[in-house]
Amino acid sequence: MTIIDGKKISQEIKNEVKQAAEKLKSEKGIIPGLAFILVGENPASQSYVKSKGKACEELGFYSVTERVPATISESELLEMVERFNKDEKIHGILVQLPLPKHINEQKVIEAISPAKDVDGFHPASVGKMMIGIDTFYPCTPYGIVELLKRSNIDPSGKHVVVVGRSNIVGKPIANMLVQKKEWANAIVTIAHTAAKDLSYYTKQADILIAAVGKANAITKEMVKRGAVVIDVGINRVEDATTKTGYKIVGDVDFDGVKEVASAITPVPGGVGQMTIAMLMVNTLHAAGGKLA
């Protein structure tokens, strides 16, 4: 059984991005620029933006973080997005989700210029992804594809079962892996909690991608021996033995499933590490750079 090390692979990607960014700066005088908009005081959102800003600093990117109160009006937020759309130093715009209920998230996503949509959520990016045109891909699914590629796990002809149908992970990873291209070309099934017997689907998977949002939802009995298991979940569960009183676990019961899987991603240290790395790749591409 192989543990797929997202921390190691994401660092490899960031090293490649840093070299490409240095080349872009020396040859064209362009520094990739990323703008973060953080609305409100959500602790998880604050942590994510801090990590992304740290990655920008590490790779020599220019970044700016706009922190605004949860009471900001939708029109004010849209004006801020438009300001960054027009800012030539900014190549990527990231509005950290979720947003307060009085703001229409889709309206904000669609306000971002498709040329700066480094999150890969704009309908223009999603449409291109759907029909197989190169575009900005959502960072977590993009990270999953890179994990498979750099672990030499070719999904071509394999049965991939995705558990989850979110716009952020489930739907895009299914679309990316079904494309007729290298490191895709899979037979893809999307399963979710409406299934009367979820294990009927999961046990068919050569590659099982769990994006359920529920701690330890995928157990050993639900996984075919020899399957590759990709755990997208990040769940906080109580644990009195830790200083914080909680621990982070995935959607997969790691200790049980690792006994039957041929390869598995841990949580933490798996897919989560890749999301930020791929955001940096998208921003590099938005600035006109490319990996070697």
- List, by residue number, the catalytic residues: 52, 96, 119
Under a CB-based contact definition with an 8 Å cutoff, are residues 56 and 63 in contact?
A: yes
φ, ψ (nearest 5 deg) of residue 43: -60, -40
Going through 26-166 in order, the beta strands assigned E by DSSP cover: 33-39, 62-68, 92-95, 159-163
Cα separation, 289 vs 292, whole angstroms: 10
Contact partners, residue 57, CB within 8 Å, separation at least 6: 63
Q: Say if residues 249 and 267 touch (Cβ distance below 8 Å).
A: yes
Give the sign of the dihedral formed by CA 124, CA 128, CA 134, CA 139: positive
Structure tokens at 214: 């529920």
Residue 245 in contact with residue 223, Cβ under 8 Å? no
Q: How far, in whole angstroms, is CA 17 from its chain's centroid?
A: 17
CA–CA separation, 73 and 26 (whole Å): 41
Token pair listed for 55: 């990655």
d(CA 192, CA 178): 18
Q: What is the DSSP string of 154-169?
A: --TT-EEEEE---TTT
Structure tokens at 290: 């490319």
